Amino acid sequence: MAIDEHELAAFTATIRDFAQREVAPRVAEYDAAEQIPRDIVKQMAELGLFGGTVPEELGGLGLDHVSYAKIIEEMAKVDHTLGVLMSMPSSLVGSGLVKFGTPEQQEKWLRPLAQGEIFGAAGVTEPQSGSNVAAMETTYRRDGDDFVINGAKTWISNLDLASFIITFATADRSLGRAGISAFIIPVDSPGLTLSPFKDKLGFRPICSGEVSLVDVRVGADALVGEEFGGYAVAMNAVEKGRLSVAARAVGLAQGCLDDSIAYAQQRVIGGTAIADHQLIQAKLANMATEITAARLLVHDCAHAMDRGERGRKQASMAKMYASNVAQRAATEAVQIHGAYGVSPEFRVGRAYRDSKVFQLVEGTGEIHLQLIARALLKGE
Ligand SMILES: Cc1cc2nc3c(=O)[nH]c(=O)nc-3n(C[C@H](O)[C@H](O)[C@H](O)COP(=O)(O)OP(=O)(O)OC[C@H]3O[C@@H](n4cnc5c(N)ncnc54)[C@H](O)[C@@H]3O)c2cc1C
């Protein structure tokens, strides 16, 4: 563990202070504008918020997964989309480079990523294969020492900030997962086109969209891990990603609870604070209980990863449950706020929109039920 309990408490307090001071007053505005302000990202880099679990010798903070989950949760209480940026170097984008990258790739891409000097994107989802990664249709062929990639990815996040995309292609669709390789593709590569989507229901400050690849040519230094080893790179990335999503969902839910407690005490109707009604109290009690359970699942997953395990089943349980808890907490928070719950003046409306998206990203709820059941039936 790179930091002890006291250092973690101090780091968490720094994030809380930053989030309250710099983020809370601006998040509604940049959510509407659909762009995270660059000066906020710059301040986050100065605070070292991108280092996460990336080892110190590779430019990161070398945090254990439990500490990492705690700092992601802290930021997510105010804005989980900044938690997306914080998590990328430790999960979807960087974890493949930590585990499978060459020293040259780590120096060129991972170190600046962990220090917030550059950003990356991870392109797994395709128009015809979201839940079933092995069915991807993006192909590559060898041409001398180069690889030439053709296809499309969709709903890829960070398109406004990314300098490179870690993406996946198959040499032969009939091979399924055994045909897939992982590549680093700089965004200025000829043949690569990024087309951001506008006006999403939630996660609005995150720029997500389509990536088109037409005869994109990369050298041998772009291959991450072994050729045909791309499926393992993708699974490593999404499992770390699921821990991060789950921690963000807990943070969003906790923010909803904190706001609901405050509002219920200050909203007085007919001389009675709504917090005095047992039906409102029951909502708060259920929210708090579920959030605590979700947090424990997140920490259970993080402990498994700290023991060096994949934590596959735990990641699915934490991601699925925490996303559902976030969705229920946001729904109850809007209910407690009454009409003000749908006003931009209060942040629970934004949480309500975002919480639905949690149930879709990094594996839908249905897919996680399948993964958990499959693990159980295998005796895992
Ligand atoms: C805001 C946002 C950001 C995203 N960022 C990224 C990113 O950075 N990188 C990336 O690669 N992807 C990203 N995604 C994509 C996301 O991971 C996918 O949307 C998700 O994996 C689901 O895929 P799909 O949308 O194609 O749904 P589908 O696979 O088309 O599923 C549609 C429905 O069918 C259900 N379904 C599918 N298969 C089965 C089955 N076998 N049994 C039962 N039900 C099934 C699903 O649960 C779902 O309810 C992002 C998505 C969003 C919304």
pLDDT, residue 1, reads: 53
Atom of ligand 1 nearest to the CA of 124: 11
Q: Which of 361, 370, 371 to mutate to test the pocket of ligand 1 (most atoms within 8 A of CB)?
A: 361
> Could you tell me the residue ranges of all domains in the chain?
5-114, 119-228, 232-377
**pTM higher than the cut 0.95:** yes
**How many whole angstroms from 230 Cα to the centroid of ligand 1?**
19
Angle between helices 312-337 and 365-377 (to 10 degrees): 140
Catalytic residue among 7, 362, 366, 380: 362
Locus of tokens 């254990």 = 64
**How many whole angstroms from 84 Cα to the centroid of ligand 1?**
17
d(CA 159, CA 157): 6
**How many whole angstroms from 155 Cα to the centroid of ligand 1?**
9
Report, at the CATH architecture level, how domain 5-114 is classified: Orthogonal Bundle (1.10)
* Domain topology for 232-377: Butyryl-CoA Dehydrogenase, subunit A; domain 3 (1.20.140)
pLDDT, residue 37, reads: 97
d(CA 246, CA 321): 8
Q: Token digits for 253?
A: 């839910």
Residue nearest to atom 43 of ligand 1 (CA): 366
- For the chain, 380 residues long, give each residue's pLDDT as a single digit of tens: 578 999 999 999 999 999 999 999 999 999 999 999 999 999 999 999 999 999 999 999 999 999 999 999 999 999 999 999 999 999 999 999 999 999 999 999 999 999 999 999 999 999 998 888 889 999 999 999 999 999 999 999 999 999 999 999 999 999 999 999 999 999 999 999 999 999 999 999 999 999 999 999 999 999 999 999 999 999 999 999 999 999 999 999 999 999 999 999 999 999 999 999 999 999 999 999 999 999 999 999 999 999 999 999 999 999 999 999 999 999 999 999 999 999 989 999 999 999 999 999 999 999 999 999 999 999 98
Burial 114-148 (b: 16+ CB within 10 A, else e): bbbebbbbbbbbbeebbeebeebebbbeeeeeebb
Q: Are 207 and 283 in contact (CB under 8 A)?
A: no
d(CA 224, CA 109): 12
d(CA 248, CA 304): 18
d(CA 328, CA 335): 11
Query: Is CATH 2.60.120.200 the classification given to domain 119-228?
Result: no
Residue nearest to atom 38 of ligand 1 (CA): 131
Q: Which residues line ligand 1 (CB under 6 A)?
A: 122-125, 130-131, 155-157, 200, 203, 208, 357, 360-364, 366-367
Q: Is 34 among the catalytic positions?
A: no
Residue nearest to atom 22 of ligand 1 (CA): 130
Instruction: State phi, psi for 63 to the nearest 5 degrees.
Output: -70, 150
